[in-house]
Structure 1
């Protein structure tokens, strides 16, 4: 009978894109010990994404609203996990994120210094932002021995989300999708408008793509539905799917698209992990810090003197970093592939 592997609990992040990038850590842990069992503490909304990751053995949903402390929910979850894990890796740097592994009495608890987590973590690592210069590197480093992690020269596996062909067929029928080659558009970015390409540009690009024989699928959550309507209204072969699909559906619909035009957002990382070619548009953020984790991507970034500012809204009031990236530029990139 094979020896049981180490049991590792990962406290996952609270954003879609970060949760996708966390798969690079899960892949690293499984590559080093195929017998390891990985559980992930995560917001309930992220379960559909985690269930598409071959490396994740268990999802422990934390039913706490974003920004809510949720003491009773954390204590109840910790009690259910007690005695079941050998090690915990805490990806967020907040104090409350380290509570569940501590209350579950997991013997080894690793994470970065942050918010006075003394006692909650018993292996606190200093974050060298010059060496660990990307979010995904920081995640992977916490699964490695400290000496190896500090060098920063370790490989980063690329996330890969499993596709469900039966679900995709049902989605085609439910939403009346056609047989034209499909291009996805993701106009949202939860962080703020300084990361959002103008809707007028998305609309102009959608019109041009339909003329070139493509179908366009606009994707996002319920908050993005009005933006999707601006892009799709009155256009044949353009489908506003914002708020009409589940997160798992988005994985399948993106995997079915030839390319995706997207802001630097969570769905950008979903598209990359689904295997879709990504046309990634950057404004206030930097492609050096949160790039799509795929070789099949083209980055659109003007690197103006004021970029990257990492602000939610443009401090100068013009958002030229986005406005000056024309629809024609994106159309040429799409058609050249």
Structure 2
């Protein structure tokens, strides 16, 4: 029988057969939740675990070893009452819910579900509510660990990601990419252009890397193709992989890279999880204390924080790498 986490002082817990995990996005936040995903699976080894997430993460989530089913959150509203009713029925079909998104939307989902006692989240009203008054001042990873602890899951170890690395199609060997090479991540969410270090400086950094015998490799989505071309304009030896890599490919490349340098964006969180030495660039729009990439060992991840990215010099970034 499934062993159900419960708080000290409670009686024997009821068995948990159906578990819902809610994590809607973005990529960096989703990656921060790998450890909680794994811990929830370990706490409920016999339960059926369903993940509710958004369309950009369906493929990644379905490749994870922690879920029996992945369901897309279509975000229905009052204009689509039939879909809203279907969501209500869906949310009421679980013995335990772990809301790792803890947003205004999922607070509404808690009410839509009938405020069940077995809901672990940020909204008061359930027996498993995360009642830490400083939760909004905690790093995402620490906050989620504390949330699970208060729901009875004491151990949240670093996630095992061999399953992800095994899915990589593009590898250093398949690309003929010799060591050492460094990853450059010049893009960011389209809604946050202020988070981007000026493109010319990425090109200048690529030139410094190449002069020191380190092949620059630019990664990102197809939308970052112009950024990679801008880097190549200053450093023709830079390898452009934008639009060609899967998440697994980026993880596999990061696992063997000399280092990764990039803005506050999802691939940097992924690189950190592989053990890659990372330098992440933050501007005043972000708070590293709440959302910086987390490495596996002390000193693996460094952060440079400036109020305005235009003020961050190439010399300072290069000095932080050596």
The answer, yes or no, to whether TM exceeds 0.5 is: yes
State the match for 1:90 in structure 2.
99
Shift of residue 230 of structure 1? Answer: 1.1
Shift of residue 58 of structure 1? Answer: 3.1
| Bigger Cα displacement from structure 2, 132-141 vs 25-34 | 25-34
- RMSD of aligned Cα (Å): 3.6
Shift of residue 271 of structure 1? Answer: 1.0
Q: Structure 1 residue aligned with 2:118, among 100, 105, 108?
A: 108
Kindly tell me: are residues 137 and 215 of structure 1, through their superposed partners in 2, closer, same or farther at Cα, counting changes over 3 Å?
Answer: same
Kindly tell me: are residues 128 and 166 of structure 1, through their superposed partners in 2, closer, same or farther at Cα, counting changes over 3 Å?
Answer: closer
State the match for 2:194 in structure 1.
194
1:26–1:38 contact (8 Å) kept in structure 2: no
State the match for 2:262 in structure 1.
262
Shift of residue 209 of structure 1? Answer: 1.1
1:39–1:58 contact (8 Å) kept in structure 2: yes
State the match for 2:169 in structure 1.
168
Distance 1:232 1:91 in 2: 40
1:64–1:70 contact (8 Å) kept in structure 2: no
Shift of residue 38 of structure 1? Answer: 3.3
| SS in structure 1 at match of 2:37 | helix
Q: Structure 2 residue aligned with 1:300, among 300, 303, 313?
A: 303
Aligned length: 303
| SS in structure 1 at match of 2:288 | coil
Shift of residue 205 of structure 1? Answer: 0.8
Question: Are positions 1:8 and 2:19 aligned together?
Answer: yes
Shift of residue 206 of structure 1? Answer: 0.6
Can you list the C-alpha shifts for 1:50-81, whole angstroms capped at 9, x where unaligned? Answer: 3454434432233459x998765565566567
State the match for 1:224 in structure 2.
224
Shift of residue 199 of structure 1? Answer: 1.3
Can you list the C-alpha shifts for 1:261-298, whole angstroms capped at 9, x where unaligned? Answer: 01122221111122221111222122211122112534
Distance 1:242 1:226 in 2: 9
Kindly tell me: are residues 292 and 68 of structure 1, through their superposed partners in 2, closer, same or farther at Cα, counting changes over 3 Å?
Answer: farther
Kindly tell me: are residues 71 and 36 of structure 1, through their superposed partners in 2, closer, same or farther at Cα, counting changes over 3 Å?
Answer: same
2:217–2:240 contact (8 Å) kept in structure 1: yes
Kindly tell me: are residues 241 and 293 of structure 1, through their superposed partners in 2, closer, same or farther at Cα, counting changes over 3 Å?
Answer: same
State the match for 1:141 in structure 2.
146
Distance 2:59 2:259 in 1: 22
State the match for 1:41 in structure 2.
52
Q: Which runs of 5+ in 2 are unaligned?
A: 4-15
| SS in structure 1 at match of 2:168 | helix
Shift of residue 10 of structure 1? Answer: 0.9
State the match for 1:323 in structure 2.
310
Distance 2:245 2:235 in 1: 20
Question: Are positions 1:289 and 2:290 aligned together?
Answer: yes
Shift of residue 201 of structure 1? Answer: 1.5
| SS in structure 2 at match of 1:138 | helix
Shift of residue 22 of structure 1? Answer: 1.3
| SS in structure 1 at match of 2:290 | coil
State the match for 1:277 in structure 2.
277
